[in-house]
Amino acid sequence: MRVRLPLTVRYAETDAMGVVHHSSYVVWLEAARVEWLERIGLPYPEVEAQGLAFAVVELGLTYRRAARFGDRVEVEVWLAELASRTLEYRYRVWRGEALLAEGFTRHLCQDSRGKAARIPPHIAQVLGAHLGA
């Protein structure tokens, strides 16, 4: 399942050149990922309440076009890979039909002590039901 999260670029997200700073995209990806989990019925606070976290262990972004203050963008997200302890999301950032950026985040399931853990079956089942495009 793919989700598109609409956002309006805030002034604080831009740099001295008036372009969205590269670090702002990381925050947008997180917001889209949290929204995706909410929409599939697995709110992240409930995952954390079970003593689990999906820590970001790798991130990649390719910037295609600039976004600027006031632009309306959409962050598209989907779960691309699911393994026993890891998952990977893919992203695209759009302004209308223009692709601004694309990337991925890889996550490791961790217990409350920060140790790698298997994704519990009940969570893996929900994630797996929404795997892919």
CATH (domain of 124):
3.10.129.10
Separation of CA 83 from chain center? 17
pTM of the model: 0.95
Helices assigned H by DSSP within 11-116: 22-39, 44-49
pLDDT > 80? residue 51:
yes
Query: How high is the pLDDT of residue 105?
Result: 98
**pLDDT surpassing 70 at residue 85:** yes
**50: amino acid identity, one letter:** Q
Q: How many domains does one find in the chain?
A: 1
Q: Could you tell me the residue range of the domain that residue 76 belongs to? A: 3-129
Residue 46 region by backbone torsions, left for phi larger than 0, else alpha for psi between -120 and 50, else beta: alpha
Q: Is beta strand 86-95 parallel, antiparallel or unpaired with respect to 98-110? A: antiparallel
Mean of per-residue pLDDT scores for the chain: 97
pLDDT digits (tens, 9 = 90+) for 97-115: 999 999 999 999 999 999 9
Confidence at residue 133, expressed as pLDDT on a 0 to 100 scale: 63
